[in-house]
Structure 1
Amino acid sequence: MKTDRRSRILEIVSNKDIETQEELAEELRRLGFNVTQATVSRDIKNLQLVKMLNSKGRYKYVISRDEGKDMGEKLVSILEQTVVSVESLDKFVIVKTITASASAAAEAIDQLDLTEIAGTIAGDNTIFILVRTVEKARDLVEKISSMMRK
């Protein structure tokens, strides 16, 4: 029963935009599964489903594609998927992201542990990075830009 339910969950999230655990539970109930939110929560964790922004700017559950990646690749993947533009202004680097992604992108940048960065501040879709020198700011723009192109 558990294997069949989890197979159906993968099928559902592959074919529909499911935003919440309750929506997923409702879909499963329509298919005849007697589930609680707690059961759905455990299934989501075990299946390693993650939430991503869809084309309408809303979150949905998706099947994680990061299973075999090391942490560095995951961090670069976050930047690839969220960063829209990057530029330097004096000792600042300004990174624009898709809506509601600046915190995740800033955390990814912080986790890269780059010594030229003094600190980051993230809003909803903008990150301000203070860099130690103007030259290092330009170098950081190149690093982030190259990550966006992968």
Structure 2
Amino acid sequence: MKTKRQVLIEQIIARQRIGTQKELLAALRREGMDVTQATLSRDLWELRLSKVAAADGGYRYAVPGRQDPGLTPREQRVIQKAVLSLVVSGALLVIHVLPGMARAVARWIDRAHFPEILGSVAGNDTVLVVVKATGGAERMAARLETLLKAR
């Protein structure tokens, strides 16, 4: 339940501008997730969410590592099309990609500086990502899927 809730929190923050815990609680409830403010506060701390300046002069929550790794629109489309599947095994995330694309995908992940990733290894059509904690690989897979869909 906790992992599902935290993944949902990250997805909501990726989709919409959330500036307060009250707004996030309301968004979670709209998604069918009833959570207390105390639990939400712990989740925000565990996810290391922070507030960043928004374009309108206000503030919004942001997930560390969500910053754009500086890809051009063309590179973004290529990466999106290259990823075929993401499979989680313990603290490992295995990403299957089109042949010859593993280095490009691993480079994209490395340039994003996700704090929960220890490192990545690229072959020809597979990227192995080592995540700091068991359970973190599931969150990382969900986060990458969200990023890939947004591109």
State TM-score, norm by structure 1: 0.49
Q: Which has the higher contact order (CA 8 A, sep 6+)?
A: 2
State TM-score, norm by structure 2: 0.49
**Higher Cα Rg: structure 1 or 2?**
1
